[in-house]
Chain A
Amino acid sequence: MALFDKFAAAAGTRDLLGSLPVNPTDVVIERVLSASEAIVAGRPTIMAGTNNYLGLTFEPECIDAGQRALAEAGTGTTGSRMANGSYRAHLELEAELAAFYGMPYAMVFSTGYSANLGSLVALLGPGDAVLLDSEAHASLFDGCRMSGADIFRFKHNDPDGLAKRMRRLGERARDALIVVEGLYSIRGDCAPLQEFAAVKAECGGYLFVDEAHSLGVYGERGRGLVESEGVIDQVDFVVGTFSKSLGSIGGFCVSPHDVLTLFRYASRPYIFTASPCPSVIATTRVALRHIATRPALREQVWRNAHQLYGALAELGLSLGPDVSPVIGVAFREREVALRCWQGLLDAGVYTNLILPPAAPEGGSLIRVSVTAAHSSAQIEAIASAFRDVVARHASGCAA
């Protein structure tokens, strides 16, 4: 096979998407108006397909801090922390993350993807066993695969399936790593973390939870599903991203184990990546403080989630099992999902279209997400747009 022949499948996907009236991967956000609205295709559009759950991207205090850091420390660090040094602010953010979780150790990465990749390749190696949820994010799978560990998949959110596989591993289970997420970003369903922690208690091993989409949204102080499920002290590694509720870019890992301090010497995705730039660290630190101290943001995003989930459920749509800020609307027919997604965009509502193989169970899905920045009127407008497109394109076809 010639070098470029492998792109045939990608070209097929591109051509298929290019044949649609609007290619879902080519939507251009021309101008951002606020945390909940932008100009798309020349018209004001409600953004219902972001991960900006708390609406902090336009928080004035975050913007001030970012602008100050730009002026004082420049546009970038231009190198990795190992080779070119850590800025004081990197270390201060790590201390603040550790304090936020009540764990002694924290480490900052340049992206959420590299936080997962870098943590897993540091933790795992050939001969280790890792048990991975079947719907875990690509960054988790890539980290497991890159590590050379033996990968055992279990059915999504299935503690019994995990327990069976742990028992089959025998003695190896005591050192196995269990990798799950908190809130899953496509259907908006939550991991049964208490049950996973119980499996760990029974069989041994270590529990690694990716809270990318649950940080800031779940828990009294916004520490994610590990807090709301009361399992923080049973989890060995919590990984998260700055690019969702925290409104910037980057990632982190916190842990009660001092081995995390050795990741700096063992994690190639950390060692060989430029460190986060000063303005990003500055906005993230302020946003973290807002998450910890402003429960009203969480209350608002949950009010919006309940309002929209209730309205979409009334339409008879097939929704994920849990009310959450991420609402996955499943469609059996790809064409119906496409027409509805296009109809929503035409009506001024931007959502995410998820097609096979990214959508679970071989179907297609429209992913809708809410933010604390959405007004009740905007939530009603999203629901109203759904009502219209379902009546037009999907009556009797949804689910």
Chain B
Amino acid sequence: MAKPDHLSIVAALIELLRDTLEQPRDIAADTALIADLGLESIQVIEYLCEVEDRFDLAIDEDKLADVRTVGDLAEVVRQLLKD
């Protein structure tokens, strides 16, 4: 099965974020998860669990050290799917 590309991963991540957030927000690839959306740490963890389940991945927290935006996270997901 073909691996999803960066853009389709971004779209899926945004869809999952909309489910996580209580209020509707404009979200794009360059939206920062914490600085722009104000996610609390516990919300970030729960969101990442949703992302893992959606893509059937295990994401080690170390891999998230440089993740700031939705696009950054999509790149981590893409790399893990490639591996």
Contacts and interface: CB of A to CB of B under 8 A. Distances in A.
Nearest to A154: B49
A2 B47 CA distance: 33
A301 to B, nearest CB: 29
Contacts of A362: 40, 42-43
A134 interface: yes
Interface string A131-158: 0001100000000010000111111000
B46 A134 contact: yes
A135 B46 CA distance: 10
A387 interface: no
Given A155-B49, A165-B52, A168-B57, A150 B42 contact: no
Interface stretch (A71-79, A255-263, A353-361): A353-361
B40 A357 contact: yes
A309 B37 CA distance: 35
B61 interface: yes
Contacts of A152: 58-61
A362 B44 CA distance: 11
A168 B43 contact: no
Contacts of A150: 60-62
A164 interface: yes
Overall SS of chain B's interface: helix
Nearest to B60: A150
Nearest to B39: A362
Contacts of A151: 60-62
Contacts of A17: none
Nearest to B58: A168
Nearest to A141: B61
A161 interface: yes
Given A134-B49, A161-B49, A360 B59 contact: no
A356 B41 CA distance: 9
Interface residues of A, number: 19
A153 B48 contact: yes
Contacts of A134: 42, 45-46, 49
A399 to B, nearest CB: 15
A169 interface: yes
B49 A360 contact: no
Given A153-B49, A164-B53, A165-B52, A357 B42 contact: yes
Contacts of B57: 168
B66 interface: no
B52 A360 contact: no
Nearest to A144: B61
25 contacts: A134-B42, A134-B45, A134-B46, A145-B61, A150-B60, A150-B61, A151-B61, A151-B62, A152-B58, A152-B60, A152-B61, A153-B45, A153-B48, A154-B49, A155-B45, A161-B53, A164-B53, A165-B52, A168-B57, A168-B58, A356-B40, A357-B40, A357-B42, A360-B42, A362-B42
In the A-B complex, the 9 residue pairs with the smallest Cβ-Cβ separation, listed nearest first, are A150-B60, A168-B58, A151-B61, A357-B40, A134-B45, A153-B45, A155-B49, A362-B40, A357-B41
